[in-house]
Amino acid sequence: MSSHGIKFCCLPTAIGTMPHRDVNKACQLILRYLPDIPAWPQLPQRSFKESMLAQYSEGFPGLHIDGEQIYHDQGDEFAISLEKLFAAYSERNCDAYATSAEHAAGLHAFLSMSHGKFQAVKGHITGPITWGMSVANKKGLPLIYDETTADAVPMYLQLKAAWQEKSLGQLSDTTMMFVDEPSLSVMGTAGTALTDEQVVALLDQVLAGISGIKGIHCCGAANWSLILKTSIDILNFDSYNYADSLSLYPAEVKGLLDREGSIAWGIVPSDEELLPKETISSLQDRLEEAMAPFTRENIRFRQLIEQGLLTPSCGLASLSPEAAEHALELLAKLSAEVRRKYSC
């Protein structure tokens, strides 16, 4: 069971990104292959404004998008905008930081399509580490290191996450919001000045704005013990390429599962060359091999299955539309086979 009462039993969901330019086509594929826990499609090929950083740049004080450039300008309006953000944060006014259709056509199309209630619905937002380290001021200093904007970054992203979750709540009583944090795989390396305590605090501040199921997605090898210190319910990782990296932390994984949290196994490769080489059988073998080390550490295999989710290893935006559909089809069929085999 999850901490919100769902017995996932390796149901499939997605990271979010899709390669399509046709919004309706992307939504239809998600709904076809992920009918239990769909994730709205992020479409970076459609517009720069839907790319990982730009999508969540709308409304941040002093931030502007010019073509395919994001720049920060502390001009005359900056102080006023910053005060508005602080006020909205203190008042929990997430509607002031809604994401428009211009920045998330897939989200708005997904919300407007007429369909029934889902078991759960999944949203996603770029996290404060990745976003704050990648968007910089005029001097090239990342906003998370700039003392005038550092506090604003997690406040702003918390409001963005809360607004998205509120919107997705129209489709299901159970919402899942994942914070996408690829930069967690480089924490502790040269050029990263955040301490472990700061990383956890930043993540938890954004997660605090999510009232439903909270997840973190990282598609590299990371210090999972650090991430598992946060308030997440679900850890989503690339188990196709980095299964061994998580097996180094059995005690922390057991702690997550014992509090009814979940592991989302990114087991279907999001790679154009690898996808054709895999079958349902080969992926099932790979999934069971990824789970096996934990069973030697006092974690029941049945618990891993029952509290597991299945996802692609990462987003699908870099694939061709045909390959992305194939990845979703493999994911759906793998989930069905695992659920059949283990009578979920």
Task: Give the pLDDT score at 188.
Answer: 60
CA angle 57, 60, 62 (to 5 degrees): 110
Residues 82, 152 contacting (CB under 8 angstroms)? yes
Higher-confidence position of 7 and 81: 81
Helix (H, G, I), strand (E, B) or coil at 17: strand
The average confidence (pLDDT) of the chain is 93
- Residue 264 forms beta bridges with which residues? 236, 309
Asked whether the predicted pLDDT for residue 5 surpasses 70, the reply is no
Q: Which pLDDT tens digit goes with each residue over 221-249?
A: 889 999 999 999 999 999 999 999 999 99
Cα distance between residue 74 and residue 298, in whole Å: 54
Task: Give the pLDDT score at 190.
Answer: 53
Residue with tokens 């017995």: 7
Task: Give the pLDDT score at 7.
Answer: 82
Q: Which pLDDT tens digit goes with each residue over 181-204?
A: 999 887 765 567 789 999 999 999
Asked whether the predicted pLDDT for residue 3 surpasses 80, the reply is no
Cα distance between residue 79 and residue 233, in whole Å: 36
Element (H, E) at 339: helix 321-341
Cα distance between residue 73 and residue 62, in whole Å: 5
Cα distance between residue 36 and residue 48, in whole Å: 30
Q: Which pLDDT tens digit goes with each residue over 105-154?
A: 999 999 998 667 799 999 999 999 999 999 999 899 999 999 999 999 99
Q: Which pLDDT tens digit goes with each residue over 67-100?
A: 999 989 888 889 999 999 999 999 999 999 999 9
Residues 252, 224 contacting (CB under 8 angstroms)? yes
Tokens found for residue 181: 């944090």
Residues 142, 63 contacting (CB under 8 angstroms)? no
Task: Give the pLDDT score at 199.
Answer: 94
Task: Give the pLDDT score at 1.
Answer: 39
Q: Where are the domains of the chain?
A: 11-341
Task: Give the pLDDT score at 286.
Answer: 98
Report which residue type is found at 303.
Q
Task: Give the pLDDT score at 324.
Answer: 98
Distance between start and end Cα atoms, the chain:
12
Fold of 11-341: TIM Barrel (3.20.20)
Task: Give the pLDDT score at 124.
Answer: 97
Cβ-based neighbour number of residue 300 at 10 Å:
12
* Per-residue pLDDT band at 2 (split at 50, 70, 90): very low
Q: Which pLDDT tens digit goes with each residue over 277-286?
A: 999 999 999 9
* Per-residue pLDDT band at 328 (split at 50, 70, 90): very high
Cβ-based neighbour number of residue 200 at 10 Å:
17
